[in-house]
Every structure is written in structure tokens, then in C-alpha cells.
Amino acid sequence: MKFTKTLLASALLSTSLSAMQVHAADVPVGVKLADKQELVKGGEGEPATLDPQKIQGTPGSLRAKDLFEGLYSEGEGGKLVPGVATGYTVNDDNTVYTFNLRHDAKWSDGSPVTANDFVYGFQRLVAPKTASVYSWYAALAGINNAQNIIDGKAKVSDLGVKALDKYTFQVSLDHSVPYFVKMTVNSAMYPAPKQAIEKFGDNWTKAGNLVSNGAYKLDTWIVNEKMVFVRNHNYWNDKKTIINKVTVLPIKDSTVEFSRYQAGDLDVTSFSGIPTNRYKELLKTTPDEVKVTPQLAAYYYDFNNQQPPFDDVRVRKALSYAIDRSIITKYVTGVGEIPAYTFTPPSVDGFTAKQPEYAKWTQAERNAKAKELLKEAGYDKNNPLSFTLLYNTNDGHKKIAIAVASMWKKTLGVNATLENQEWKTFIDTRNLGNFGVARDGWVGDYNEASTFLDLFKSTNTSNNAHYKNAQYDQYMAQAAKANDPAPFYQKAEDLVIDQDMAVAPIYQYSIKRLVKTYVGGYKPNLEDNIYTRDMYIIAH
């Protein structure tokens, strides 16, 4: 393989990244630390697994961030922070990334973390034997042969990863992915401890067997009660880690979690830890503990683009325009959510979607336009549009559905019947396209617009709106090859929302967390990549 000369720009980037401050708890001068450095935090429910290559969903990745460390991590505001990698170089078309690994990184058993551990981890992710439900992540990143290996058409050893030497790890991609380094923050791309996995097989993630390379190691895992981590003294930056013990409580219900927080059982709640009905009161009583920041996630309604009457763009636009998003975010959800008129959240790194025309109108103007469009499509109060609005059983979704249906009724005379289904049935119904309008949500996998816009590619398995547009696919293909993909993202965004309204964006989610005032080092970011190693307990 020809490795082109490193571009000046990427060299600069690489140097600047390696010169950046590494992850660690930075205690401001004058802050007195507590004698007992133990943290109890909310865990968003119980994870299915602690195997980094098999983790899907926040409960697992939240814990993996304390136990493992990948090439890069994320710091405050989503800035990349070197992890096991000290820097990287990239060729001129963003297809070959070479990472320099630190020589002092160790596993909790004392063995060194080497490039081979990354090769092994990446290969595990796609190996059919692992059967990881997150294997698509390697294909999404464009790693050479990833899709072929997943499909059983190539050998695991053909994956585009190699150890150039003990501390140099190289990844080759089948197309340009300028944001590849951001993708390494995800647990799917963490190294894997071959020694433990081969020794313990399926039981390698159990307490006592798990070998990790993060700031902490697993001490206890009692399903549905707690998980306890203790300091990994072999961690390369252990001397700058302050918290000695982390207890993660797998509480899913925000009301239950809130009561345990009030009782002093928890120091930090999960990212959905503020019950909506308590928010205003908390802002008055304990404003310093309320941490509400935007999340890289979108709440929206899918129109079934293949099924009448939703195959008519006028119907889709009318329904979308008639949703008063500010009422939803102000009165229905009400904890820092941001009304959305584009699909890609504006806070995503590297691309700020231009607000479409309808975002600039007043709600009255939107309603007038909605009536006009629906009438053109053949529906009015005498011949009302009737359909079912499907959502997964959940009180929050129900409230939003009631609000939206009543807006549609009031403005357009539309009869939307609400139907709820429990999660697995709901997903099945939505995947099969047996719906008219359905609730949907998407949390970005990495901080780049393609994690959102890829969804509407004709072949994407999560394209629940069943939107198919060759022009759109072309824009996304062009974006993937471009050094500056932003103009193509804008075209794609204009097409899918402003022109086609394939879905109705409703709001951008928020991270709503309660953090006791004696907890220092909490650095919120869009993807909620929070690491306990940055935190400390102040004397109180």
C-alpha cells in the first residue's frame, strides 16, 4: 500500500492534538479535596455486556469509559483528547490513519497495551464469531474489508488494520473519512485484552476476570444492583486520577433515581436524571446542582414515505409545519430541549445546518401554509385526513403525541389516532413499514453530521421513514469523499427536510443531570462522554 506523504495540515493537527492537555482530574488551586474519594453515579439501567466490541447503548458505553481507553477520548465541549494514542498522521485523501501509541499504557494485569491489542480489538468487532451487533460501526467507518468480513466474504485477517510496530497502529479505509479519529472515541474501537478473552472465554467480562486499560478496573458486578470499579494502578495516568472507587447504580426510572439522589445515595445522576415535573423547583432550590446541556440527539416523527397519503410531500410538509415545536419544548418536555427545524442538530461539530425557510416563519405563518398545502393535497375540514400516530409505550412520548395530535386537529382538522406499542413490537412494526406516522429518535454515534444524515440513505437499515432518493444518496457519497463535506451535507439537509420533509424534526434532546456541588471536574459534552478520571470530590 502506498502511504502518501503526510500533509502539513494533518501534521499540524496531529502535533496540536498531542500537545493538548491529556485527560486527568485538574483540581483548581485552593480547592480542598475530601479524604474519601468515592463517587456514586447513575448508570442509565443495566448494560447487556461490558465487552467493548459488543456494547450498544449508553449503559454499556458509560461504564466502558471508566474501564477502558481507546485511541482518543473526548473532553469538555467535545474536544478530542489523546488516550492511548499520543498523536496521528493521515494521508492526503483521509484513507490511511497512523496512530502513535504511548509506551507507558498498560492493562490492569500489568502487561503493555500495544498496537496488536488494537488490531485484535478491531478484528474482534467484525469477526463473525464475535457476532457483535455493533460490527456495522467498522463498516460505517469504512475500514477496508469490514463489510466483506461481516458478510462472511473475507477473512478476519484481511481487515484494514495493522501493527507497524509495537506502538504504531495503522488503519486503512476504503473511502475518505475525514472524521475517522472522532469515531475512535466509541467503545467499539477500544483495544481488547487477548490474554483475558482467550483464557476466560464468555466469562472474561466477569469481576475477577476482566482486564481493562482504563483508569479503573472492575471490582463487583451485581446485575440490577450495582457495579463497583476501583483504581487501576497500572493506568498510565493513574497519578493524576483522584477518585478511588466508583459505584454505578443501574437505575432506569428517573423518579426512582431522583429520590435516591435526594436521599444522598447518588452524587451524580444519569443524563436523564431530572424528572420533568421537578425541574422548575430544582432551579429554585438547588440551581448549582442542575446541569442541563444540549445532547447530540434528535427527536422526530417518521412519515412513511412509501405509503399514501404520506408519499405526498404536501401532506408531510403540512403536518410538519403545523407542529408548534416551541410549545412542545417549553410546556411538554420543558427541560432544556431545543426546537428543531433541521435534522442535524446545529451543535454538531464541523457543520451548522442553515435554518430552512419554514424555521424563519412565525407559527401562524406555518399554520397558514400547512392548511394551504393540505387543501392542495385534497384534505380539509370536510374531508379530513385520518391516520394512526404510532409511538413506543412511554409517558413522555405519550404526552408529546397528545400535544402534536391536538395541534394537527386544531390547525388542520386532522384526526390522528394514537397507538402505543411496547418497544420490541414497535420496532418490528416500524421496520416493516406498517405505520403512517411513527415516533423516532436518534443519538449520534460520533460528533459529525454524517452520523445523522447517513440515516436517510436508501440502503440504511435505520431509514425508518423509508425515504429513497438517488440524489440524496449521491450527495452523501460526495460528502464521504470530500475534504470539506459541509457543502454536501447542506445539500442533503436541504433535500431531506426543506424540500422533501421525509421526517418532521421536533427537538434536540438535552442532557439533564444533577451533580452534587461537592463533585468537581464534571465536563459535559454533546455526546455525554464523561470520564470519572476527570472528577474529584471536594471536602464538604
Partner 1 sequence: MLKFIIKRLLEAIPTLLALVTLSFFLMHFAPGSPFTSERGVPAAVLANLQAKYHMNESLMSQYFHYLWDLLHGNLGYSFRFTDFTINQLVAQSFPVSAEIGFWSFLVAVSVGVLCGVFAALRQNSLLDYGVMAFANIGMVLPNFVIAPLCILFFSIHYQWLPAGGWNGGAWPYLIMPVIAMSTSYIAQIARITRGSMIETMHSNFIRTARAKGLPKSHIIIRHALRPAMLPVVSYLGPAFVGIITGSVVVDQFFGTGGIGQHFVNGAINRDYSMVMGITILIGTLTILFNAIVDILYVFIDPKIRY
Which residues of the shown chain bind partner 1 in the complex (CB under 8 A)? 46, 48-51, 54, 56, 128-129, 131-133, 135-136, 150-152, 202-203, 205-206, 222-226, 249-251, 253, 255-256, 259-260, 262-265, 422-425, 427-429, 431, 461-462
> Cβ 243 to partner 1, closest distance in Å?
19
Closer to partner 1 by Cβ: residue 164 or 427? 427
Whole-angstrom distance, CA of residue 237 vs CA of residue 255: 37
> Cβ 129 to partner 1, closest distance in Å?
7
C-alpha distance from residue 139 to each of 93, 174, 451, 499 (Å): 18, 9, 13, 30
Q: At 203, list the grid cell.
A: 466469562
Whole-angstrom distance, CA of residue 279 vs CA of residue 302: 29
Helix ranges (DSSP H) in 153-225 = 180-183, 194-200
C-alpha distance from residue 436 to each of 163, 320, 381 (Å): 50, 14, 20
> Cβ 4 to partner 1, closest distance in Å?
32
> Cβ 183 to partner 1, closest distance in Å?
16
> Cβ 43 to partner 1, closest distance in Å?
10
Closer to partner 1 by Cβ: residue 85 or 125? 125
First to last CA, the chain: 58
Closer to partner 1 by Cβ: residue 9 or 222? 222
Phi and psi angles of residue 75, each rounded to the nearest 5 degrees, phi first: -110, -160
> Cβ 107 to partner 1, closest distance in Å?
19
Closest CA to 78 of 433, 447, 476, 478: 447
Closer to partner 1 by Cβ: residue 8 or 223? 223
> Cβ 415 to partner 1, closest distance in Å?
26
Whole-angstrom distance, CA of residue 10 vs CA of residue 31: 38
Residue 466 Ramachandran class (φ > 0 left, ψ -120 to 50 alpha, else beta): left
> Cβ 11 to partner 1, closest distance in Å?
36
Phi and psi angles of residue 514, each rounded to the nearest 5 degrees, phi first: -105, 130
Place of cell 440502503: 459
Closest CA to 1 of 238, 246, 207, 172: 172
Closer to partner 1 by Cβ: residue 146 or 242? 146
Whole-angstrom distance, CA of residue 146 vs CA of residue 123: 9
Closest CA to 181 of 80, 302, 261: 80
Task: Identify each DSSP E strand in 287-398 by its residue range.
Answer: 290-303, 338-339, 386-392
Hey, how many other C-beta atoms are within 10 angstroms of the C-beta on 53? 25
Q: At 141, list the grid cell.
A: 467507518
Closer to partner 1 by Cβ: residue 364 or 427? 427
Closer to partner 1 by Cβ: residue 265 or 357? 265
Place of cell 442553515: 354
Closest CA to 472 of 451, 488, 448: 488
> Cβ 280 to partner 1, closest distance in Å?
19
Whole-angstrom distance, CA of residue 313 vs CA of residue 324: 19
> Cβ 265 to partner 1, closest distance in Å?
5
Closer to partner 1 by Cβ: residue 132 or 447? 132
Closer to partner 1 by Cβ: residue 162 or 439? 439
> Cβ 462 to partner 1, closest distance in Å?
5
Closest CA to 214 of 100, 87, 42, 83: 83
Whole-angstrom distance, CA of residue 537 vs CA of residue 244: 10
Q: At 146, list the grid cell.
A: 469490514
Whole-angstrom distance, CA of residue 480 vs CA of residue 180: 11
> Cβ 166 to partner 1, closest distance in Å?
30
Closest CA to 160 of 88, 230, 96: 96
Exposure class string for 390-429: b at 16+ Cβ within 10 A, else e: bbbeeeebeebbebbbebbeebbbbebeeebbeeeebeeb
Closer to partner 1 by Cβ: residue 130 or 232? 130
Closer to partner 1 by Cβ: residue 266 or 504? 266
> Cβ 35 to partner 1, closest distance in Å?
21
> Cβ 135 to partner 1, closest distance in Å?
5
Phi and psi angles of residue 511, each rounded to the nearest 5 degrees, phi first: -90, 120
Closer to partner 1 by Cβ: residue 207 or 405? 207
CA 182 vs. chain centroid, Å, equals 12
Closest CA to 169 of 80, 102, 214, 92: 102
